Structure 1
Amino acid sequence: MKKSLSIKVLTALCLATILWSCRKDKGVTPEEQTQLPGQGSTAVNGLYVLNEGNWGSNKASIDYYDYATGVYRKNIYGQANPSATLGLGDVGNDIKIYGSKLYIIVNGSGKLEILDVKTAKKLAQVDISNCRYLTFYKNKAYVTAYEGFVAVVDTATYKLDAKITVGREPEEMAVVGDRLYVANSGGYTSSNYERTLSVVDLATSKEIKRIDVAINLHRVKADQYGDLYVTSRGNYGDVKSNLYVIDTKTEAVKRKFDIEASNFAIDKDFAYIISTAWSNATMSNVISYSKINVKDETIIPGGFISDGTDKEIVMPYGIAVDPISSEVYITDAKDYVTPGTLYSIDKNGKKKFSVSTGDIPAHLVFYTK
């Protein structure tokens, strides 16, 4: 009896040790470094890449590409924050820089992480359930939450100042003048999608109207002329995704491009669009790359990749454009399980390099001087 009990206790201790080791290992994944070409002297210090990590896997992570040295550092959060034994958290959904701080939305973990932009060391955390995207205006961070509001966070005190009621399941936002435009998706209820942009007066933190656009809105970005470019995800069936232009002077839709759009970035006079759309006819994804002149709102034939690199990319997911060189960075989520890839495409549409990232690389932000 005693021998049997001892074996059981020993087995339990061994199992507990294994489980503890697994838990601990999740938070201490070592940083990896890859040498890439440097960018020389530029006003950009580098590029942060936020990897979403699969839902429930607790594998959100941050990579950093240093322009001066050409070193690509993979999984820098653990190195900068060794006491964070569980890592960054579950599902990294947005990343932005404001002043000297790096702001990260971790959707599954329900938090806004605030880091030092130079060191990636954690400064603070604001808990916001089901948070999605963020933007800034006059020392305030605005965070959409799927509960139907925009949270207002003071960037000095890290305190939650207010909640602005908007539409159901709000997604991306953009600021033009003193107004905040919020894309409402209604994405949880496919039989009754939302189809509006909420317009928020930033002086009063109140929603003042809604602009009817299309069902299941997602991305919102402003060009340098004050127009908003907005994507609709459609219903994933007979209503396809699309790209719309909103005139913020009239606050009405002035253009529908009739091109599918999953994600896009605007740099100067051009918008760079990537699309991954499921085809029931071929039972596969249809991938496309488009380029639009936002000044005259015309589609430029041929897209923005000229050397066949688009054939290498399995699942285009995130996109950003260097504000100085106009190089386009595209992330490839591949199978959403294994590490992805970051591609650099020069302004002539040719591949400069590619590098392995964390799982589901999705969101990018340039750290400028």
Structure 2
Amino acid sequence: MRKIAKLAFYALIFSLLVVSCTDDEENYGLYGKGVYVLNEGSASGSVSYINTDNDDVTNGIFALNNGVPLGQYPQSMAFSKDYLVIVVTTSNGAGSIEIVDKETMLSVAAFTELSYPREVTIYDNKAYVTNGSGEGVVYVVDLKTLTMNSTSIAVGHGPEKMVVSNDKLYVANSGGWLNDDNTVSVINLNTLTVENTITVKACPKDMVVDADGNVWVNCGGAPDYSNYPNVSYTDAGLSKINTEDNSVTSWPIANPSGTVKNMAVSPDGSTIYFVSDAVYAMEVSSSTLPSAKFIDDTFYGIDVNPDNGDVWVCDQLSYSDPSVVKCYSKEGAFKAEYTVGVSPNSCMFW
């Protein structure tokens, strides 16, 4: 692990830029309350900030404040009370976890030379990070002490998205490059041990938690490359895990999206959104998949603003040029579009 101290120079600049807050005001730092977009990039990824009050976009805020690029192919990010945690995968087996101060966007710590870090979830001031294209593990970072646990938690192949429900961490084991997993590992967060392994549809990638605490899993299906470039997918679909008894209800999807960031949930947990051949909205009380398209287009990532229910989608226009994110109302009406970095994959709201 390397630690990057907050330099006096940056502290001085920050003090000149930020107006002090009164006791009853919340300090949103250099950029403020808005939308933060993670861009995978090509040579290096980036973070964009969208000020939704005036529609201004500031791209590359990590590099602007740290003087160095974020790194190649960042995959995920999450906010804690004090930090923005960013997971950078890279293409050479030297991925990292970057811990960034929320108010200054300065890096305060980084954990480097990880083999294949992917997704991050924050719970109770700890960051949980999936790692591995084959045999997978979950790393645990204490955000109070900025230290990583000396031991990791072994899970399935190619772990991706995680969610927390009832003090348990659910880990989607996608199979990674092997495409050979169809399970969700359940980690007891009190003991940091796997207490259950649940079978779902093939290659689970993304997950959300509904209002009842049940876990919904979007499974991309096992790819068949035998007729390449025509690729088919086997056993793709949605699976709902009843967290009371671990029973599973599944629905097949004929046209899976193939991306990791393909699922979101409404603020009240009553509606899930998923991407296949279009964006669909499904009431969690429903027993059948929706047939009507919520948005008649496909996207690289989808998220929901927890404040107002707006649906944000990442439109990857190319692998080398700036792309866009789009905002739709919870009724599916287009509201706005913003140009961000290269290959945006997700949005966070602060």
TM-score range, shorter chain: 0.7 to 0.9
Residue 235, structure 1, aligned to residue 222, structure 2: yes
| Separation of aligned partners in 2, 1:302 and 1:184 | 30
The answer (yes or no) to whether the contact 1:126–1:158 under 8 Å persists in 2 is no
The answer (yes or no) to whether the contact 1:340–1:361 under 8 Å persists in 2 is yes
Which of these residues, 65, 70, 82, is aligned with residue 80 of structure 1? 65
TM-score of the pair, normalised by structure 2: 0.80
| Separation of aligned partners in 1, 2:82 and 2:256 | 32
Code of the residue aligned with 1:91 in structure 2: it is Y
| Separation of aligned partners in 2, 1:100 and 1:353 | 29
Which of these residues, 108, 111, 114, is aligned with residue 99 of structure 2? 114
Give the 3 Å change call, closer, same or farther, for CA 149–212 of structure 1 in structure 2.
Answer: same
* Offset at residue 349 of structure 1 (A): 1.9
Aligned counterpart, 1:322? 305
Code of the residue aligned with 1:95 in structure 2: it is M
Larger helix share, 1 or 2: 1
The answer (yes or no) to whether the contact 1:339–1:358 under 8 Å persists in 2 is yes
The answer (yes or no) to whether the contact 1:243–1:260 under 8 Å persists in 2 is no
The answer (yes or no) to whether the contact 1:317–1:361 under 8 Å persists in 2 is yes
Which runs of structure 2 are paired with 1:181-200 in the superposition (5 Å)?
Answer: 181-190=170-179, 193-200=180-187
Code of the residue aligned with 2:176 in structure 1: it is G
Which of these residues, 60, 84, 88, is aligned with residue 45 of structure 2? 60
* Offset at residue 239 of structure 1 (A): 1.0
* Offset at residue 66 of structure 1 (A): 1.4
* Offset at residue 118 of structure 1 (A): 2.6
Give the 3 Å change call, closer, same or farther, for CA 325–148 of structure 1 in structure 2.
Answer: same
Which runs of structure 2 are paired with 1:323-362 in the superposition (5 Å)?
Answer: 323-362=306-345
Residue 215, structure 1, aligned to residue 202, structure 2: yes
* Offset at residue 137 of structure 1 (A): 2.3
Code of the residue aligned with 1:294 in structure 2: it is V
The answer (yes or no) to whether the contact 1:92–1:107 under 8 Å persists in 2 is yes
Which of these residues, 60, 80, 83, is aligned with residue 101 of structure 1? 83
Could you list the runs of 4 or more consecutive aligned residues of structure 1 that deviate by over 6 angstroms after TM superposition?
none
Code of the residue aligned with 2:70 in structure 1: it is L
Aligned counterpart, 1:40? none
> Per the alignment, in what secondary structure is the counterpart of residue 222 of structure 2?
coil
The answer (yes or no) to whether the contact 2:218–2:274 under 8 Å persists in 1 is no
Aligned counterpart, 1:50? 38
| Separation of aligned partners in 2, 1:253 and 1:349 | 29
What per-residue deviation string (whole Å, max 9, x for no partner) do you get for residues 8-42 of structure 1?
Answer: xxxxxxxxxxxxxxxxxxxxxxxxxxxxxxxxxxx
Query: Larger Rg: 1 or 2?
Result: 1
Residue 252, structure 1, aligned to residue 252, structure 2: no
Give the 3 Å change call, closer, same or farther, for CA 304–319 of structure 1 in structure 2.
Answer: same
Aligned counterpart, 2:125? 139
Aligned counterpart, 2:275? 274
| Separation of aligned partners in 2, 1:298 and 1:72 | 40
> Per the alignment, in what secondary structure is the counterpart of residue 166 of structure 1?
strand
| Separation of aligned partners in 1, 2:55 and 2:235 | 40
What per-residue deviation string (whole Å, max 9, x for no partner) do you get for residues 119-142 of structure 1?
Answer: 311111122331110112222111
The answer (yes or no) to whether the contact 2:41–2:342 under 8 Å persists in 1 is yes
Residue 203, structure 1, aligned to residue 193, structure 2: no
| Separation of aligned partners in 2, 1:46 and 1:297 | 36
| Separation of aligned partners in 1, 2:287 and 2:345 | 27
The answer (yes or no) to whether the contact 2:169–2:186 under 8 Å persists in 1 is yes
The answer (yes or no) to whether the contact 2:57–2:340 under 8 Å persists in 1 is no
> Per the alignment, in what secondary structure is the counterpart of residue 119 of structure 2?
strand
* Offset at residue 340 of structure 1 (A): 1.1
Aligned counterpart, 2:349? 366
Residue 288, structure 1, aligned to residue 278, structure 2: yes
The answer (yes or no) to whether the contact 1:52–1:362 under 8 Å persists in 2 is yes
Give the 3 Å change call, closer, same or farther, for CA 183–234 of structure 1 in structure 2.
Answer: same
| Separation of aligned partners in 1, 2:119 and 2:99 | 14
| Separation of aligned partners in 2, 1:77 and 1:171 | 24
The answer (yes or no) to whether the contact 2:207–2:263 under 8 Å persists in 1 is no
Code of the residue aligned with 2:182 in structure 1: it is R
The answer (yes or no) to whether the contact 2:201–2:235 under 8 Å persists in 1 is no
Give structure 2 stretches of 5+ with no counterpart.
1-27, 224-231
Code of the residue aligned with 1:46 in structure 2: it is G
| Separation of aligned partners in 2, 1:195 and 1:238 | 13
What per-residue deviation string (whole Å, max 9, x for no partner) do you get for residues 226-261 of structure 1?
Answer: 111112111232415311111111112123254645
* Offset at residue 187 of structure 1 (A): 2.1
Code of the residue aligned with 1:141 in structure 2: it is A
* Offset at residue 336 of structure 1 (A): 2.6
